[in-house]
Each structure stands twice: as structure tokens, then as C-alpha cells.
Chains A and B, each alone.
Chain A
């Protein structure tokens, strides 16, 4: 059993590109769920339209990279508008079901054999990433003690954490503005806000678009850091994991989603690596009749499910949050 490997896995996941993707997605969810009380279960859908907006523009249509970025962000905004119109007047659980359904529709369409020429089928699209990698100023990877990052990871980390910082700054500035206070009051009592003459629907829509844009940024960053746009990456469980990350850190806090996804990935990667090390080799620490090596990666998911339940029951505000600020009682 090699503890160095485990520590390396845990720390490079916590600071690496994967945690950044989740942080960006969870920042979007924080605007939706944490500040406005909108139960969006389709964040993966926002990510996928933006990701495929970029990939299709560059690969299928052969247009410039910067145009792809614009198309991707535009797609996320359009999706928010399309979803918002039918559902924002409805109860929270309706929004949840419609957003989760839309995300699945998008994922299935992007992965369909019939649209292989446009979206690349189940293998997705590749070959759009060169302009991004060309900007990479680093010559070598970085090793800090046991933790190491490759050259391309280092570039993604630089770009990604910069994006996270900018997004956090935007959220921080917006949420202390009068606009942000209206969002929070919609979360607390929608009817009271309406009685004050505010257009609740318009505010909710603006929040949905803003969070969707953050989701779109997450999607674009995700395909840039891994160099391919694969439909199955954007499945429902992704959204659930992003929720778990948000709830660990604490909803309705600017840094909640960021810290949450770092902790989330620290634990997921650390536990995963621990059990894979513990079942490896001829004489594993955990005997084979209890756990086969291929079962080792599932322990972290079992613990994640259990952890999410316990977290929601005993500490729904997460680490930083305030219990009175979490929109969990309404419906």
C-alpha cells in the first residue's frame, strides 16, 4: 500500500482540472438553487449545449475557435430561456423534472447514431482544442512533493482557477447588489416579492440564464481540458455530483461551491485511490473475498450516496452556509 499515490491522487484531484469543472458548474447551481431557490437538475444540459456548441462550430462547421466560444455561450443562454418559459411559473419539483428531462434529451441527441455527422455519435468530437493548447506558456510539468501535474494540466489549472476567481467575483458583486437581494427574497418568499411589485418571473429568468452561463463555462472548460467532447460525460449523475459538491461547501455562499468541489474531489479521489491500493497486488490489505479490485472504485460512490443523505439530514447548510438561507423547505 503506497500512501504517496493516495495523497498524490487526492491532492491533484482537489486542485486539478476536474475540481475546477465541478466548481464552475456548482457556482452556476449556487446562483440557481442557493440564491434563487430554483431546483435545476439539468446543469449537465447547460454544460453539454455549450460544449457541443464549441465543438460543432470548430470541428463540424470548420469555423474559428473564438466564434465557437460565442456559439457555446449563446447556446447555454438559449437553453435557459427555452427551459425557463414553461417552468419558472411552476412549482420547484416541476422545474426539477423538466430540467433533468431536458438534459437527458440533449445527451441522447448528441450521442445518437443518426446525428453522427454533426455531433460525432457516442465517441463525440475531437480536434477543436489546438488553439487552446497553443496558448500554453508552460514548458514542463510541475512537481510539488508527492503531488505532480503535467504540462497541459498546469495550463488548465491556470486558466481554470482564473475562471473560477472571475466567476466568484461576479457572483459576489451581483449578490450584494439590489438585484441579488431581490433574488434572495424570491428564495425566501416569492409572494412577498411579487406584492412589492417586482416581476418575479423576469428575475428568476435572469438567474436561470446567469447560472446557465456558468454551467456553459464549466462545459467548455471540461472539453478543453480533456480535448474531446463526449456525450456520456454530461449525464444526470454529473449534476447530482455537482449538487453534492455545492452542498458540502454550503449553498448561498460565494466560496461554498469552490471549497465544496475541492473537498468533494479530495474525498472521491482519495477514497478511490485508497481502496484501489488496498485491493491491489497478490496479498492485498483487504482480502479478495470481501472486495475485488473492480469493486474498489464503487466504495467511494456508496460513501458518496450515504454522505449526501447524512449531509442533507444533519447539516444541510454544509460547511459555510447558514441553515436559514437554504431553500429546502419550500416546494
Chain B
């Protein structure tokens, strides 16, 4: 065999606990060979109950389809490399071994490099052992050597937990933007199609303050939120207030916002370029386990910041004088004006608050993912969906609707929605909700047609 530096993948340790029916029944030729043998067995059935399953595949430096590697011995040990041996198996024709384990705990999977076919090497550092934390309902796939692709075989339960985590995170980010959109819609009646660009603005400003000016990400984020708020104020004073004075219709304003969205997006692309870029810190972080949930530090920060921001906003809207004024204007601008409120001043504050929240969503999105001129526009429809689902113009509705949309998007793939179009499920729900309850989940059942 030619000696080639093959990137050997190891792959996947899918852990199946308490969900044996998911896979165990499909096997037809059970030839369990728990001890090491010479020739590769025809097929290793996935062990019922708790188990560790590894699929070895030769990536062949990325050329062609990964080929399974049969005949490699893998051993599972309890706790550490020198611990109790729980079982050893030779990979079958599909490159798979499946070894039963007693339950939760720490396991070490060891690969015997001597049994690798000649010419195939482990890629990266060539580590032959991997430690696996097994606990209920968490994804436990491990790449064996570095640089190899992972074929994930997490259990259904862990997929649901991970999906819920991602869904809540996405939902909270959408909620921040949706709260801004909903406030602005409530007080001015404007369906703002340029709202997605306000998200992008927050992200790009963070990038500029971080990479351009050289500030730490946290300061850059704070500055970006402040700058977003300032932009919101200027936008209202410079554009929307004069339009309201002119008596421009709401649909005309909607189309103006489309023009503004095109303008801003093109300017972003002009200045920022079409590429996707990263901030200087917190780009990749490993996830730590907290019970069944895996979270990275930045995810915890995103959860905390968004929950605090939303809570503070909601409390302020409910309790403070300005918050009450905002809700009053949102309810009936004419009546508010006639009872002595400065409606224009309140609308200005709404724009400041709304764009600050939306900018914050952009900052957190930049930390969570990367920065791109198109990122807000891609999220815009989900924000609309969240707001409409909860009920246009209602504050709690925007919150609830956004969380539902976030969960729909991230949990959809677990329940069979093709992963590449996971947004579709959320948008379909939006249309269905409008069919049966057009005012949204929390909207008042008033005439809307």
C-alpha cells in the first residue's frame, strides 16, 4: 500500500443511553466479538443500552468520500488509561465498534495504532486515546485525532437538550431585536424593514471598536450599543420625525424603510467587504458541562446579558414614568397627546431604547458567531416572525414569540426538518398561527383587518 499521510478520522463516540430502541433493532447479523481478533468482523451491532460507539473513517486528506477502516482494535476503559477494561472490539466493515458501558461516568477510548492498516496514519498529533464524559442526555462525540471530520451520533435526548440550548440562545437574541422592533412599531406604526441592518450595525460597530480601535471586546460592545442608541436618535430626528410631520402614510414609510435597508446594507458591504470576519477575543471556546447541559463561557455571558437586558427593559416599561408613557403612546397616540404628553419626545426615547436593544442583539451575535454585512438581514424575517407570532406591538408577545421561533429553528432538525432549511419550520408556524389566531399569541383580539 502506498504510504500516504492519510488523515485518519476517528470519529465518533456516540453514546446511547436509555434509548436503545433508536438503533438496536436494525442490525441483522449480530456477530459480537468483544475480544480482539485478527480479521475484521462483518458487522458489529450497536450494543443495547448504554454504550460507546466509534466509527473510524479514512478522510484521505479530504479527497473523495471518507472510507471506513475495518480491522482496528479499540478498547474502552473505565476512568483512566490504567483503569478497568470494559471491552475491546475490532472495527467492522463499516469502521464501527460498539462497546457496552455500565452507566454514567468517565471513560477512556484507546486505539491500538499497530492495528491500523499500513499507510494510514492518525492525523494531527496522533493521539491514540480519548476521554469521554458520559452523562445522561448530552452529546458525547469525540474526534479521535485532530483535523478529522466528526460524524455525530448523539442520542435523541442529548440532541433535544442541545437544541433547546441553542434555541433559547437564538430566541433571546431574536427577542432583543424583536423588543426593539415591537416598541417602534407600537408607538409609530412603522413596519421597519431596516431593522435587520440595525442588528448588523451593532455587530459591525463592535468589530470596528475591537479590531480597528483595538479595544477589548466587552468595551467595544458597550460602545457599540451606545453608538446604536445614538444612531437611533439621529435616525428618528433626521428621517422619521420629519416624515411624520409631513403626514407620510405608513405604507410609504414602510417602503422608505426598504430603501434605507438597501442603502445601509450596501454601505456596510462597501466599507466592510463581503467576507465574514471574527472579533479578536472569544472566537472559539470549549464547552464545559453543567449537569446535562454543555455551555461555553461566552454562551453563559450571552444568556446573562440578554436576560438582564430584557428584564430591565420590561420592568422599566411596567414601572417607570417614561415606560408608562411609552405604553400609553403605543396604545393611543392621540389620547396621549391630548392628555399632555410630549409624544415626539416619547417616540425619540422609544427609538433610542429600541435601537440600543437591537444593537445589543448585534453585539451578542458578533460574539456568538462572526461579523458579516448580511447577518442582520438574514435574521430580519425571524424577528418579524417572532413579533407577529406574539402579537404585533405587544411587549410580552414579542418575547414569547421570539423564544418560540428560536426553539422552532434549533429544535426543528431534531424532529426531522432538514438542517439546511431549519428556518422554514419557524416561518411555516408563523403562517399557521396567523391562520387561526391572527392577532398573535398575546395580542388583543381587536379588529385587525
- One of A63-71, A108-116, A131-139, A259-267 at the interface: A108-116
A308/B255 in contact, CB under 8 A: yes
Question: In the complex, what residues of B have CB within 8 A of residue A250's CB?
Answer: none
A228 within 8 A of B: no
B427/A94 in contact, CB under 8 A: no
| Tier of interface size on chain B | 35 or more
A108 to B381, CA, bound (A): 13
Give residues 289-330 of A contacting B (CB, 8 Å). Answer: 295, 298-299, 301-302, 304-313, 316, 327-330
A86 within 8 A of B: yes
14 interchain pairs (CB within 8 A)?
Answer: A94-B434, A96-B191, A101-B384, A101-B430, A105-B427, A108-B423, A113-B420, A306-B263, A308-B255, A309-B259, A313-B248, A327-B251, A330-B249, A331-B250
A169 to B250, CA, bound (A): 32
Task: Beyond the given A105-B427, A243-B255, A330-B250, please list 14 additional residue pairs across the A-B interface where CB-CB is below 8 A.
Answer: A86-B438, A89-B449, A90-B449, A97-B430, A104-B423, A108-B424, A109-B421, A244-B259, A298-B266, A305-B262, A313-B248, A313-B256, A328-B250, A328-B251
| B378-389 interface bits toward A, Cβ cutoff 8 Å, 1 = contact, 0 = none | 000100110010
Whether A86 touches B435, Cβ cut-off 8 Å, given contacts A104-B427, A302-B270, A328-B252, is yes
Whether A105 touches B428, Cβ cut-off 8 Å, given contacts A90-B449, A295-B270, A306-B259, is yes
A6 to B309, CA, bound (A): 52
Question: In the complex, what residues of A have CB within 8 A of residue B385's CB?
Answer: 97, 101
- A148 smallest CB distance to B (angstroms): 30
| A79-101 interface bits toward B, Cβ cutoff 8 Å, 1 = contact, 0 = none | 00000011101111110111011
B34 within 8 A of A: no
Whether A112 touches B262, Cβ cut-off 8 Å, given contacts A91-B448, A102-B431, is no
Residue of A nearest to B428 (CB): A105
B292 within 8 A of A: no
Question: In the complex, what residues of B have CB within 8 A of residue A74's CB?
Answer: none
Residue of B nearest to A90 (CB): B449
B392 within 8 A of A: yes
A305/B420 in contact, CB under 8 A: no
| Most chain A CB neighbours (cut-off 10 Å) among B270, B381, B435, B448 | B270
Question: In the complex, what residues of B have CB within 8 A of residue A96's CB?
Answer: 191, 254
Question: In the complex, what residues of B have CB within 8 A of residue A104's CB?
Answer: 381, 423, 427
Question: In the complex, what residues of B have CB within 8 A of residue A313's CB?
Answer: 243, 246, 248, 252, 256
A299 to B431, CA, bound (A): 36
Whether A329 touches B421, Cβ cut-off 8 Å, given contacts A98-B431, A247-B255, A295-B270, is no
A88 to B129, CA, bound (A): 62
A interface vs B, CB < 8 Å?
A: 39, 85-87, 89-94, 96-98, 100-102, 104-105, 108-109, 111-115, 237, 240, 243-244, 247, 295, 298-299, 301-302, 304-313, 316, 327-331
Question: In the complex, what residues of B have CB within 8 A of residue A330's CB?
Answer: 249-251
A329/B251 in contact, CB under 8 A: yes
Question: In the complex, what residues of B have CB within 8 A of residue A316's CB?
Answer: 252
B269/A86 in contact, CB under 8 A: no
A244 to B193, CA, bound (A): 15
A331/B189 in contact, CB under 8 A: yes
Which of these, B258, B424, B435, contacts A240 with CB under 8 Å? B258
B251/A92 in contact, CB under 8 A: yes
- In the A-B complex, list the 10 residue pairs whose CB atoms are closest, starting with the nearest: A305-B263, A308-B259, A305-B262, A329-B249, A309-B259, A114-B418, A301-B266, A328-B252, A328-B249, A86-B435
Whether A93 touches B262, Cβ cut-off 8 Å, given contacts A100-B381, A313-B248, is no
A137 to B251, CA, bound (A): 46
Question: In the complex, what residues of B have CB within 8 A of residue A312's CB?
Answer: 252, 255-256, 259
A93/B392 in contact, CB under 8 A: yes
Whether A112 touches B434, Cβ cut-off 8 Å, given contacts A96-B254, A309-B263, A313-B243, is no
